[in-house]
Amino acid sequence: MINETIIEMDDVSKVYSSGISALSDISLEVLAGEFIFIAGPSGAGKSTLLRILCCAEKPTSGEVVVCGMRITEPGFKKLYQLRKTMGIVSQDFKLLRDRTANENVAFALEATGHPRKEAKRIASDILSRVGLGEREKDPILALSAGEQQRVAIARALANSPPVILADEPTGNLDAKTTLDIMGTFTDLHRRGTTIVFATQFTGLVKRYSYRVIRILGGRISNGGMADLPKVQEVKTGE
C-alpha cells in the first residue's frame, strides 16, 4: 500500500452556477498511508476540495481518482462504494443526538451491512481505540465536544476505510481537546490510514511535520501564509 497513489487530482477546477470560482487548476497526489494538511484561510476552497474527493460535489473540469475509482468519469454511480473507502469527519460532528456513542457507531456499521449484534461489538472495540470505551453507553449530549468528535472519528473508522477526510475537525474545540483529537489522528496515521486534514489553524499545522498543501483563493499557493511550511514540503514522521 505504501507509496501507491491513493488520491489523484489533475487540473481540477470548480465554478459554482453563481459564477464564483471555488477551485482553480488543483493538481495533487496523496500517497497511501500519508498524512497531509490542506491549509488555508476560511473560504479558501478547502471544504470544496474535500467535498470533491468524497463526490459530494462534481468538479467543473479535471480528473479525480480515489482508491482506484475515477470518480469524475461521466455516469459514475458507485458512490456508496467510494464512501466505504473513506471515513468523513466534519467540524460539526454530524452525530445522531438521540442515541448513545455506541449506537452512533453501530448505526454506521448496520447501514453498511453488519448484523446488529456484530455492529455493536465492533462499535465497542472502535470506541475503546479512540479512548471512549468507558463512555460508549452514554448519550451523545452527555459527552463533551472533544468526546463527541472522537465518536465521529470512531464512526468514520467503522468500516476500516483506508482514507480519512477530516474537514476542520478541531474547528469547534479548545486547544487541549484539539491536541487530544490530533493525537487520535496521528495514532490512526501510524496504523497506516491515509489522512487528509483540512484546517485553517496555522499553529496546528506548524506543530506537525506532515506535508502541507496551502490553498488560497481556490489555488495551491506558495505564499500568502508566510508562517506555514512550503507547499509540497514532505517530511516523514511526526
Partner 1 sequence: MIFFLRYVIRRTLKNLTGNLFPNFITIGIIVISMLIFSAFTLIALNLTNFLTIWEDKIEIIAYLKQGMPPGQVEPLLRKTRLLEGVEVVRYVSPDDAMDFMATKLGRQKNLLEGIQPAFLPPSFEIQLKKNFRNSTRIKEVVARLKEIPQFEEIQYGQEWVETFSVLVHAFRLTQWILGGLLLIGIVFITSNTLQLTISSRREEIEVMHWVGARPSFIRVPVYLEGLLQGFLGGGLAILFLFLLHQGLFFYIPPSTQAWIAKIPVLFLPPETIAWILLGGTVLGFFGSFVASMRVLKYR
Q: In the complex, which residues of this chain contact partner 1 (CB under 8 A)?
A: 54, 56, 79-85, 88, 94, 96-97, 107-108, 110-113, 115-116, 155, 158-159
Rounded CA-CA distance 153/87 in Å is: 8
Contacts of 31 (CB under 8 A, 6+ apart): 2, 3, 4, 5, 6, 194
Contacts of 16 (CB under 8 A, 6+ apart): 22
- Minimum distance from residue 221 beta carbon to partner 1 (Å): 29
- Minimum distance from residue 109 beta carbon to partner 1 (Å): 8
Rounded CA-CA distance 110/53 in Å is: 24
Strands 219-220 and 61-66: what pairing? unpaired
CA distances in angstroms from 77 to 10, 69, 72, 82, 86, listed in the order given? 20, 11, 10, 9, 16
If one counts every other C-beta atom within 10 angstroms of the C-beta of residue 177, the result is 17
- Minimum distance from residue 55 beta carbon to partner 1 (Å): 9
- Judged by DSSP in three states, 196 sits in strand
Locate 172 and state its grid cell. Answer: 469547534
Output phi, psi for 6, to 5 deg: -105, -30
- Closer residue to partner 1 (CB): 25 or 57: 57
- Closer residue to partner 1 (CB): 27 or 112: 112
- Closer residue to partner 1 (CB): 104 or 202: 104
- Closer residue to partner 1 (CB): 44 or 89: 89
- Minimum distance from residue 138 beta carbon to partner 1 (Å): 19
- Closer residue to partner 1 (CB): 56 or 142: 56
- Minimum distance from residue 113 beta carbon to partner 1 (Å): 7
- Closer residue to partner 1 (CB): 111 or 142: 111
- Minimum distance from residue 104 beta carbon to partner 1 (Å): 8
